Amino acid sequence: MPYDTSQPTDSEPSKAPSTDPSSEIGGDLGQQTVPKPPSRPWWKQAISIVVTLTVLIVVFGFVLPQLADYDAVREYISDIDFTEWIVLGLFSIWFLVAYPIVLMQVMRTLRFNEGFVNHMTGTAITNSVPSGGALALPLNYGIYMSWGFTPGVVSAGLLGAGVWDWLARLSLPVLAVIGIAIIGDAVGWMWVVSLVGITVVAVMVVTLVKVLSSEVGAASMARFADSWGSKVLGLAKRDNPGIRAMVLQFREDLKGIIDHRMLRLSLATVGNHLAMATLFTASVYSVGVSSDQIAIPWVVLAFTLGRFLVMIPVSPGGLGLVDLGWIGLLTLGWEATSGTPADADLIAAGVLLFRALSFLPPIPVGMASWLFWRANKSWQKPWQTVRRGADSTVPTETATEH
């Protein structure tokens, strides 16, 4: 591989622990471990592939044909006019470029083209193989480091983007339920979803404030998390991986981003989620569904709740299970909005169109991005000396010249 992931050694003698809680923040927290590809026996990999293929065959070969007619789905999609295809194409491009803009806010000196190449490469793997995220992450690190970013900067950036992504992901269903309540279609389970979302977001915000606002608070939270984590892991007969150090590292990684780029990160995150929701909504309506049949808040709620099924790692990108979830939620939305039985063919057409526009393009684009990274030597810089994003004193021409 054309990059060096070796870690600098620390020859300083270890220090005795301090009784001052604030002293736990110091130390060598800047040392980061670069993730490595998971090592699994061949038979486990084979089982994973078989499970994935089984899920896809069952969903698309048996379950979905019972819900919708593929010929009717194809006809609905073929009826989309040229102007609508142009709009869908523009929304698809927005979908592809939105997340690199988020990455630019969490990794100082990162250029858009670099963020795009790296993100597309990782997404191609995630969309192509089971548990692809675990394979993509080490490659993402390696690509960033080949461009001069330190492991610590990469960890801090991905962590900051991930935390903000989850805050937005949990908030969107709440906003969608509020919209449904305004049009008078809200039912009991929606308020439960909203309550859960509000509670989790509140806990995350309070935790972030406590950890980031003071060193003493961070040390206290680290001890609390370490104590309870040890108890839970003990029940599972697993060792504590160092939760206290992880919490302190979390503070160090995130604080610089929040102090200087919180507003830009928040706006970029909103734009990223808006791009995804807009493409989904446009796909549903472009096949012939009207807002009189499924109100926009219902479409947004279906999209946001269905995305949580991606966490079930049985197929790349949740392919199959997520689609069934979207179809089911949109069916509820149709019946609640119009009071009439849903057209399953029409709903399936919108969902499968979105899948085609969002899931497939990153694969060839990502493959091309990976080949570009391998071939392009002009961007490569040794991270041990360049240390992009790690120090505000890094000269601009050194950090950004390509």
Assessment of whether the complete model's pTM goes beyond 0.85: no
Interatomic CA distance for residues 204 and 218, integer angstroms: 14
For residues 13-39, average pLDDT: 48
- Does any domain span residue 64? yes
Chain segment 182-196, per-residue pLDDT in tens = 887 777 888 888 888
Instruction: Indicate whether 5 pLDDT > 60.
Output: no
Residues 6+ apart with CB under 8 A from 160: 106, 253, 254, 257, 258, 265
How far, rounded to the nearest angstrom, does the alpha carbon of residue 229 sit from its chain's CA centroid? 25
> Which residues is 381 bridged to in the sheet?
147
At 245 the pLDDT is 81
In a domain, 91, yes or no: yes
Answer positive or negative: Cα dihedral of 343, 346, 352, 358.
negative
**Pairwise CA distance, residues 72 & 398, whole Å:** 57
Helix 70-78 and helix 344-359, axial crossing angle in degrees, nearest 10: 70
Q: What is the pLDDT of residue 7?
A: 43
Mean predicted confidence (pLDDT) in 324-342: 94
Q: Show the tokens assigned to 251.
A: 């503070």
Whole-number Cα distances in Å, 290 to 10, 122, 177, 217, 255: 63, 35, 19, 51, 45
Position 30 scores a pLDDT of: 43
Among 35-39, 322-326, 336-340, the range scoring the smallest mean pLDDT is 35-39
Contact assessment for residue 243 and residue 225, using Cβ atoms and an 8 Å cutoff: yes
284 near 277, Cβ under 8 Å?
no
Instruction: Please give the C-alpha separations between residue 117 and each of 11, 45, 373, in angstroms, as whole numbers.
Output: 36, 28, 7
Q: What are phi and psi of 149, to 5 degrees?
A: -80, 140
Q: Is residue 3 part of a domain?
A: no
| 398, pLDDT greater than 80 | no
- What's the mean per-residue pLDDT of the chain? 84
* Greatest CA separation for the chain: 73
Question: Number of folded domains in the chain?
Answer: 1
The answer to whether position 242 is within a domain reads yes
φ, ψ of residue 381 to 5 degrees: the values are: -145, 145
Of how many residues is the chain composed? 402
**4 lies in some domain:** no
Q: How does pLDDT run across 257-309, given as a tens digit for each residue?
A: 888 888 999 999 999 999 999 999 999 999 999 999 999 999 999 999 988 88
Neighbouring C-beta atoms of residue 118, cutoff 10 Å: 29
Lowest mean pLDDT among 108-117, 189-198, 214-223: 214-223
Domain that residue 133 falls in: 43-378
Q: CA-to-CA distance for 207 and 217, rounded, in angstroms?
A: 10
**Could you read off the pLDDT of 75-99 as tens digits, one per residue?**
999 999 999 999 999 999 999 999 9
Helix (H, G, I), strand (E, B), or coil: what is residue 254? helix
CA distance linking residue 197 with residue 205, whole number of Å = 12
Would residue 76 count as lying in a domain?
yes
What are the angstrom distances between the C-alpha of 296 and each of 201, 232, 311, 392?
Answer: 24, 42, 25, 45
- Whether 71 is covered by a domain: the verdict is yes
Using alpha carbons, list the distances in angstroms from residue 272 to 91, 155, 168, 340. Answer: 11, 20, 10, 34
d(Cα 74, Cα 81) in Å, to the nearest integer? 14
Asked if residue 390 belongs to a domain, the reply is: no
The per-residue pLDDT for range 137-157, each reduced to its tens digit, is: 999 999 999 999 988 889 889
Q: In angstroms, rounded to a whole number, what is the distance separating the alpha carbons of residues 231 and 225?
A: 10
